[in-house]
């Protein structure tokens, strides 16, 4: 049985414009299309609340979920593989940037990286943008249960140059979900007792 870290999760809404005035701490999940953002959110809250699709680019709005009336989880459209027009992708880009730069209580940007394929150019550019704007970033390596040791070693090597903390996760086996939950609780001053990063 999966451990339950949070009791009450509600979908707040889908936003075409940046929801910058949410009055609770926020944690945003970013990454390439099909990297597993929605699956990881579902694993974290132990509910199927975020829509999971095998088709990249299905998330087209900024989606907000309130958890235990203490904080928000924010799911934003993915980048890289979405089969959409350039005009549509550019239309997504501005609200995401507006949100990341102007959210009033943004605590952590979780950047999801598929452990099997390491960092792509789009990931590196986004990391550089996050660093330039001094946004608190933690990398979540996803699909860790599907990655070979050589794939994982290459991914970790690529991450070293950015000097970032990372957590290894799997939505299927629930690996790292405890650390992710504790990190969020720590940031909300709820308390934690785990060695978080691996």
Give the other-Cβ count within 10 Å of 183's Cβ.
Answer: 23
pLDDT (mean) for 27-36? 91
pLDDT (mean) for 169-182? 95
pLDDT at 54 over 50: no
pLDDT (mean) for 44-49? 91
How confident is the model at residue 67, as a pLDDT?
Answer: 96
pLDDT at 84 over 60: no
* Cα distance between residue 190 and residue 183, in whole Å: 10
Paired sense of beta strands 71-75 and 106-114, if any: unpaired
Class of the domain covering 9-187: alpha beta
Confidence class for position 198, pLDDT limits 50, 70, 90? low
pLDDT at 41 over 90: yes
How confident is the model at residue 194, as a pLDDT?
Answer: 46
When mean pLDDT is compared over 15-29, 81-95, 169-183, the highest value belongs to 169-183
pLDDT at 167 over 90: yes
pLDDT (mean) for 106-111? 95
Nearest CA to 92 among 76, 80, 106, 104?
Answer: 76
pLDDT tens for 152-166 read 999 988 888 888 889
pLDDT (mean) for 160-184? 92
pTM exceeds 0.75 for this model: yes
How confident is the model at residue 56, as a pLDDT?
Answer: 46
Written as one string, the DSSP assignment of the chain is: ------S-EEEEEEESS--TT-SS-EEEEEEBTTSSHHHHHHHHHTS--S---SSTT---SEEEEEETTTEEEEE---BSS----HHHHHHHHHHHHHHHHH-TTEEEEEEEEETTT---HHHHHHHHHHHHTT--EEEEEE-GGG--HHHHHHHHHHHHTTT--EEE--TTT-TTHHHHHHHHHHHTTS---S----
Domain spans of the chain, in order of start? 9-187
Confidence class for position 136, pLDDT limits 50, 70, 90? very high
CA 125 to chain centre: 16
* Cα distance between residue 57 and residue 77, in whole Å: 7
pLDDT at 125 over 60: yes
Q: The tokens of 21 are what? A: 């005035």
How confident is the model at residue 18, as a pLDDT?
Answer: 78
Confidence class for position 79, pLDDT limits 50, 70, 90? confident
Long-range Cβ contact pairs of 84-87 (< 8 A, separation 24 or more): 84/57, 84/60
């Amino acid at each position: 049985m999966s451990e339950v870290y949070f009791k009450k999760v509600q979908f707040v809404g889908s936003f075409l414009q940046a929801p910058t005035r949410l009055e609770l701490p926020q944690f945003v999940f970013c990454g390439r299309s099909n990297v597993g953002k929605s699956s990881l959110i579902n694993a974290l809250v132990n509910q199927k609340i975020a829509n999971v699709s095998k088709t990249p680019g299905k998330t087209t709005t900024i989606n907000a979920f309130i958890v235990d009336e203490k904080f928000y989880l924010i799911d934003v459209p993915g980048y890289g593989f979405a089969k959409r027009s350039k005009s549509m992708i550019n239309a997504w880009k501005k609200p995401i940037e507006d949100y990341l730069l102007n959210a009033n209580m943004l605590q952590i940007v979780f950047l999801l990286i598929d452990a099997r394929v390491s960092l792509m150019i789009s990931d590196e550019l986004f990391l550089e943008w996050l660093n330039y704007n001094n946004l608190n970033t933690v990398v979540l390596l996803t699909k860790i249960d599907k990655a070979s040791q050589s794939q994982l070693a290459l991914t970790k090597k690529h991450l070293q140059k950015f000097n970032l903390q990372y957590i290894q996760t799997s939505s299927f086996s629930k690996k790292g979900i405890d650390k992710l939950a504790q990190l969020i609780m720590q940031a909300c001053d709820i308390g934690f007792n785990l060695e978080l990063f691996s």
